Structure formats: structure tokens, C-alpha cells
Amino acid sequence: MSTATDSSVIIVGAGVVGLATAVELASRGHEVTVLDPAPASGATHFAGGMLAPTAEVVYQQDPLFPLMRASGEWYPELIDLVASHTEVPTGYRDEGTFVVAADRADAQHLVELADYQSLHDMEVERITVREARRAEPLLSPRLAAAVSIPGDTQVFPRQWAASLLSAAQELGVRFFRTAAQSVDAARGVVSTPAGNFHADDVVLAAGLGTRDVDWARSAGLERSPLQLRPVYGDIVRLRVPEHLQPLLNRVVRGFVEDRPIYLIPRADGTLAVGATTREDTLTTAQAGGVYALLRDAIRILPAVEECEFLEASAGARPGTPDDLPYLGRVSDRLVISTGYFRHGILLTALAARCTRELIDGSDPSIDLTACNPLRHRKEQQ
Amino acid sequence: MSTATDSSVIIVGAGVVGLATAVELASRGHEVTVLDPAPASGATHFAGGMLAPTAEVVYQQDPLFPLMRASGEWYPELIDLVASHTEVPTGYRDEGTFVVAADRADAQHLVELADYQSLHDMEVERITVREARRAEPLLSPRLAAAVSIPGDTQVFPRQWAASLLSAAQELGVRFFRTAAQSVDAARGVVSTPAGNFHADDVVLAAGLGTRDVDWARSAGLERSPLQLRPVYGDIVRLRVPEHLQPLLNRVVRGFVEDRPIYLIPRADGTLAVGATTREDTLTTAQAGGVYALLRDAIRILPAVEECEFLEASAGARPGTPDDLPYLGRVSDRLVISTGYFRHGILLTALAARCTRELIDGSDPSIDLTACNPLRHRKEQQ
């Protein structure tokens, strides 16, 4: 696979985006170094892992749709690539998703959203609650409506990160457990407490940590144009008792009195219930969030009451002002890849492929104009 | 304090009952040895710690009332005794308790219970919700009724167990981290994996673990007459954010749609919310239990929503068929002291004092007929 474009690349950040980018680049013959004080942790650790370009559609975010859809289409290829380099399971599951509505207003919302999704050429099928319950018998009989989204899939983020890490190591990617302090965007030098690293290209993919890396002035900017903020979400993990296995066969999302909720069955017999969205600065799971998640989950799937309560945690996702990622080249030596917000796991396939194309100097497979990392420069506003 | 009655005593079990008994005996000159594979853990670890002879009154449990009341009256003396032998704080707080009602049916329940408590000479005062909120401003304004129970106090069980352990050590009590396998009730021999121990008297105070100790035949019984069963309770621990401190100044108990709940402020800035009562065999916190606790707590004290969720856990309390403890002498060498159920922390003062009196051969300060450890012998039924 080696080509004339082969080069050395440093990737700052070993979340799923950084790791998948490392795998993608290394598999094409690039010599890749990854810097991260704690690989495969960060937001990944708290992610739901749904690959749901359809179910995660949000009104008025049309520029996101093609990115999500493309990434969803490219995902199986990334999964195959990783699986060909490691025995660690990816946790990929393609049973599709149901979305259900708790009350009549939620049903109205669900139907309108399905129409909107169909309008945007997404595959979504209205089914009866009876049909939903035939496939998922433990769903509440008191649901108001249901749709099936056969194309939405999932990975188990903690497992997925581990398999990416393993594949990257198998492909010869070098890991250093250190944090980047600054990147010289003109010379390709990354300084860290462990010394300086040099490469032809640097990819800054450190999620919220990107804020702590000094790179802007070396790229000719007065200050960093990246506007990243933490968006917290509480997530609850439950263990499904033996006699209720499997609690669910696929991901079930829902609207309960207009609040979104998702229920994700894992291969390890646990169920993840997420996720609240909080813009406060509270870095731990909140009692109100845990309460709301359990309440809404029980409303959709009453047997949740009988599950063992394992843990409640909270993670911060890197949000941007327009909910679009920052993905693009900002200098001869520096590519920015962060700000994936709620869609970090899904957009990982897009991030990895497009970054590889940017490094290779070829045209990205998809128009990245909307993702321009410089779009929020103060001068432009 | 040494008297002619001084003897050597082995106590099996180092929960609060075993530890307090050790302190009581050692302070009177007895030579005490305590056997427990894990001192100061067990049910103690999951207890609320309310010393609430009034608030914990349950209808039809009249034989319990005098025991609870006596133990409540004797508690300050035990606290003083422990405090005189250790610097470890006991977590004793005497701000009293409020009991509140969420809806009108709960208010009716509350008023009837207060009448019942008054009838049994307990100190309980009906107050208005406005008065309750003047003392506890964060209580919901939508409560239906409130009463004040000035005499109910609390300890922080984990701290209390630590202070008891420290005081016992200070008093020369010897600890062996081993479990009793059998007790020879006639000869005062306790066999353990770590060898045999001998004493003039043995006190079996191992909570539910008492079931695993073989002692009955040596006391002339065909089988153990003790009918102990685990009664589980889920308990949630929250951290109160700085700006909401103190969330509560005293223990608040409540009835929410007939479900009892309690909210216990701790000196360490946390709030304990308990406790469900489950007779199943599930040894971990259940999602349904955690949900119900948070729901009911928020109903009474809305600011609970803003607390950090620390942990949910479950503990097993040793229940008996009639909810009365097993406390009394079953042979020349053996005293049984277990089955304290929901009142283990409160009844600790009673257990310690009466056991000491039984060992000393003096009349117990209170009639223990109802606590006879042999009352559930099959032959008697």
C-alpha cells in the first residue's frame, strides 16, 4: 500500500478519532507517532457508541447530515480494516435501531422527525407498537409510536477504542504517554514534557484537550480560532439479570415528554442508558440527571427497574458554536481534527479517512468547507 | 472499675454491636477478644445511622418500643464512654428529626402516626410546613404536613464504627481477623481457621454471619433456633455542592405516596438517601430502588437534583420473624446478640449494656423476655 506520499505523521490525542486516524495512516504506509498521556480514555470512555446518522438527526443541522451519512457508510470499511489487524473485538453491531415515543406529543414529534428524515433520503420505517414489541418484547405496551431505522449501527466505545489501539500497535504506530504543549505549525515540531517530536505532518486530535495546545501563532494567527466548550452528559450503566437476558436485541432510542433517551444493550450483559446534555461545568454525574435517565428508561422499558445499578458517570464532549467539527488543514504541517461533539464515535470514520486524504494531498472524499477550522476567527465575525 | 466479676470474653463479630459490647465490657475490666475477618464492615457500612426510637416506630411492634426508647436514652452515655477513649469522632448529632408528608394521604398517615407516638409517650410535635421550612429552607413548599421529633439523633455509621474500633483498641481489646466456625457453648471454645480460642464467656454478635457458626448442638439443641434472613436496602450517597451547603441541618424523614424515605446530612458534606426494603436475594443496588429513592428525595427536597451522584449500594440487615432481636444467654458460656434488623445502630447501646449485664450475672436493665434467642425453636411452634 506504500506510495510516494508516505510521510511521518504525529497525531496528538488518542481518543477514537486520533486512534482511527493512526490506523488509517499507518495502513497506508505512513510512519505514525501518537502522543497522549492516557490513550483510549477521555470522552470515548463515556460515549454511547451509536452509529446513527439517521436517528441522530437534529433539525436545522443540515450541514451535518452528509458528514454523518458518509461516515456511517464508511464505517464498515474502517471496522474491517481494524479487524484485519487485531483480535480485540470492535463491538460493532448492525441490528439497527428502534425509536419510540412515550406519549402522543412524543408520537407527533417522532412522526414529524421521520418525515424529515425521509425527506433527506434517510431510511426510516414507521412500525406499529405491536410490531416493535414483537421484536423487542420487553418494551412498554403503553408506548405511543415507533419507527425502525435499519441502517443505524453501534460500537461499544471502550471496546472499540481498545481494538483501535491494538490495531495501531500491530501496524507499528509508536505511542508516547505524554501531552503536547505546543505545535509549531510551520516546522512540524511538537513540544512535550518528554521532549520535542518532529514530523512531516501533525494532526491535532486531542478533543477538548486541544485547547491546551499552543499552535495558533505559529500558523500566523493572533489566537486560536477554535471555540471548543465541554458539553457534559450523564450516563448510567446497568447489569441485566440473567433471567431478563437479552433485555433488548438492538439499540432503542426514545422521546419521553420531549426528552431524548437511548438504551444500548452491550455484548457484556450490561445496558447503557444515556444521555443528558448539560452545559454546566459539573464534571460528575448529577443526581437530577441520573434520576431523569432512570425515569425515562423505565417508562420505555419497565424491566430496567430490575437491573442492577452499576455506575453513573459523566463525560465532556467537545462542542463547537455550530455543532460542526473542526476538520481541515491550517498550515503546511498542521491538520486540525476535533470538535466532534455528540457525534465523535460516528464521525470517526470520516475523520480518519479525510485526514488521511489531507495528509496525502488528495482531495477529500467529501466537501469539508463547513468544517473549516478557521471559520470562527474573531476577524471573520 | 475492675470487680470480682471480671472475666475473659470472646466476641464473635465486629459490627457496631460487637464493637460496642467490647468497649462496654473492656471498660468494666473484662479481658476481651474480638474475632472478625473484616471489622467495622458488614451491615454497618450501609446503615443510615439514625437513632430514632420515635420516628422509626412501626405499628404493631409494641414490644420493640421500650427497647428502642431505652437504647436511645442510653446512647449518650455510650457516646461519652467511646469519646473518652478515642480521638476518632463518633459523628453523633442531636439536632432532632423532622418527618414530612408529600401529599394529603401521607399527611393523614403522618398525623395518625404522631398520635400513636404521643399515645406511647413519645415526644413529637406537629409543626406547620412553614415552620419546617423556616428551619430547613430547602424543603419543598409543596409538602402536605410536618412533625418535629426533637429527641431523635444520629451517628455516622462508618465513623461510629471506626471510633468504636479505636476505643476498643485503646481499652486493650485484642482483635483477630478470623471467622468463627463453631462455638462450644458448654466449654467456651471458639474454633477458627486461625486456631481455637477459649474464654469464660462467648458473645455471638456476627449479624447474618451468625448463621455460619455452629453452636446449637453444644447448647443442647437439635438445630439453631435462630431464624435470620437478609433484608436488603438500597442507599444512595450524594455530594452536596458548595453553594447548597448545608442542604439540611437535621435528618428529614418522609412519606411519599406511602413510601418511607430518609435524608441524612453528614458532616463530610454528603447526603445519604435511604432506604428501600427488599426481601429478594439481590445483593447489589437495584435500578428501580435507586430511581425510587431519587424520585422521592427530589419530591421532598428539590435541590437533591443538583447534588453530585456518588454511589448507590445495598446492604443486608439481619431480620427475624418478629422483627425483635435475639439477645440473651443460651448456655453457661454463650450469649447471643444478633437480629437487630433495621435498628442495629439504635439498639447498639442496648445490646452493649445488656450483654455486659448478662456477662456480669446481674439483672438486665430492661426486660429481655421478648428477645429470647430460643423463642423460635421449632419444638415450640
DSSP per-residue letters across A2-44: --TT--EEEEE--SHHHHHHHHHHHHTT-EEEEE-SSTT-GGG
- 3-class state of residue B278 by DSSP: strand
How would residue A379 be classed by pLDDT, with cut points 50, 70 and 90? low
- In this prediction, the residues of chain B whose per-residue pLDDT falls under 50 are 1-5, 380-381
Task: Provide mean pLDDT across the span A258-282.
Answer: 87
pLDDT digits (tens, 9 = 90+) for B111-170: 998 998 888 878 899 999 999 999 999 999 999 999 999 888 888 888 899 999 999 999
| Best mutation target, B291, B298, B301, to test chain A (most A CBs within 10 A) | B291
Give the residue range(s) of CATH 3.50.50.60 domains in chain A. Answer: 8-51+158-227+322-371
- Long-range interactions of B196-200: CB distance < 8 A, separation 24+: B197/B10, B197/B33, B197/B35, B198/B8, B198/B10, B199/B7, B199/B8, B199/B9, B199/B10, B199/B33, B199/B333, B200/B7, B200/B8, B200/B9, B200/B333
- In angstroms, the separation between the Cα of residue A308 and the nearest Cα of chain B is 5
pLDDT of B100:
97
pLDDT of A2:
41
| Best mutation target, B280, B294, B309, B313, to test chain A (most A CBs within 10 A) | B309
- In angstroms, the separation between the Cα of residue B293 and the nearest Cα of chain A is 9
Asked if A312 and A301 touch (Cβ cutoff 8 Å), the reply is no
Per CB-CB distance under 8 Å, the chain A contacts of B282 are 241, 308
Sequence-distant (6+) residues with CB within 8 A of A291 are B291, B294, B295, B298, B305
Place of cell 443526581: A287
pLDDT of A28:
95
CATH (residue range A97-150+229-319)? 3.30.9.10
Per CB-CB distance under 8 Å, the chain B contacts of A286 are 305-309
pLDDT of A141:
94
How would residue A352 be classed by pLDDT, with cut points 50, 70 and 90? very high
In 3D, which of A131, A162, A204 has the Cα closest to residue A40?
A162
A with B: how many residue pairs have Cβ under 8 Å apart? Answer: 77
Q: For residue A257, what is its C-alpha cell?
A: 415528554
**Per-residue pLDDT at A323 exceeds 50:** yes
In 3D, which of A209, A204, A177 has the Cα closest to residue A193?
A177
Q: Which of B286, B289, B309 sits opposite A287 (nearest CB)?
A: B309
**Per-residue pLDDT at A44 exceeds 80:** no
Q: Work out the percent of chain A whose per-residue pLDDT is above 90.
A: 74
Task: Provide mean pLDDT across the span A249-270.
Answer: 92
- Topology given in CATH for the domain delimited by A8-51+158-227+322-371: FAD/NAD(P)-binding domain (3.50.50)
In 3D, which of A365, A238, A242 has the Cα closest to residue A297?
A238
DSSP type of residue A139: S
How would residue A279 be classed by pLDDT, with cut points 50, 70 and 90? confident
Task: Provide mean pLDDT across the span A310-319.
Answer: 90
Question: Per mean pLDDT, which range of A275-279, A314-318, B194-198, B321-325 is the poorest?
Answer: A275-279
Question: Per mean pLDDT, which range of A101-105, A184-188, B266-270, B300-304 is the poorest?
Answer: B266-270
**Per-residue pLDDT at A380 exceeds 60:** no
Give whole-number Cα distances, A279 to A227, A283, A316, A319, A321, in Å. 14, 10, 9, 10, 12
pLDDT of A144:
97
- Say whether the ipTM exceeds 0.85: no
Of residues A60 and A13, more confidence is placed in A13
Q: Do A290 and B294 touch (CB under 8 A)?
A: yes
Q: Do A309 and B282 touch (CB under 8 A)?
A: no
> Quick check: bond before A246 cis, omega within 30?
yes
Q: Do B309 and A294 touch (CB under 8 A)?
A: no
Beta strands at B334-338 and B201-204: parallel, antiparallel or unpaired: parallel
Nearest residue on chain A to B285, alpha-carbon basis: A309
Look at the alpha carbons of B192, B196, B197, B202 in this order and tell me if their dihedral is positive or negative. Answer: positive
pLDDT of B62:
83
**Per-residue pLDDT at A176 exceeds 70:** yes
The span from the CA of A240 to the CA of A238, in Å, is 6
The span from the CA of A125 to the CA of A144, in Å, is 15
pLDDT of B379:
58
How would residue A57 be classed by pLDDT, with cut points 50, 70 and 90? confident
**Per-residue pLDDT at A46 exceeds 80:** no
Residue B10, beta-bridge partner list = B33, B202
- In angstroms, the separation between the Cα of residue B221 and the nearest Cα of chain A is 40
**Per-residue pLDDT at A6 exceeds 90:** no
Task: Provide mean pLDDT across the span A44-64.
Answer: 77
pLDDT of A157:
87
Q: Do A288 and B305 touch (CB under 8 A)?
A: yes
pLDDT of A381:
44
**Per-residue pLDDT at A150 exceeds 50:** yes
Most confident of A93-102, A151-160, B202-211, B315-324: B202-211
pLDDT of B233:
86
What is the average pLDDT score of chain A? 91
Sequence-distant (6+) residues with CB within 8 A of A298 are A304, A305, B287, B288, B291
Asked if A163 and A59 touch (Cβ cutoff 8 Å), the reply is no
DSSP type of residue B85: T
Give the residue range(s) of CATH 3.30.9.10 domains in chain B. Answer: 97-150+229-319
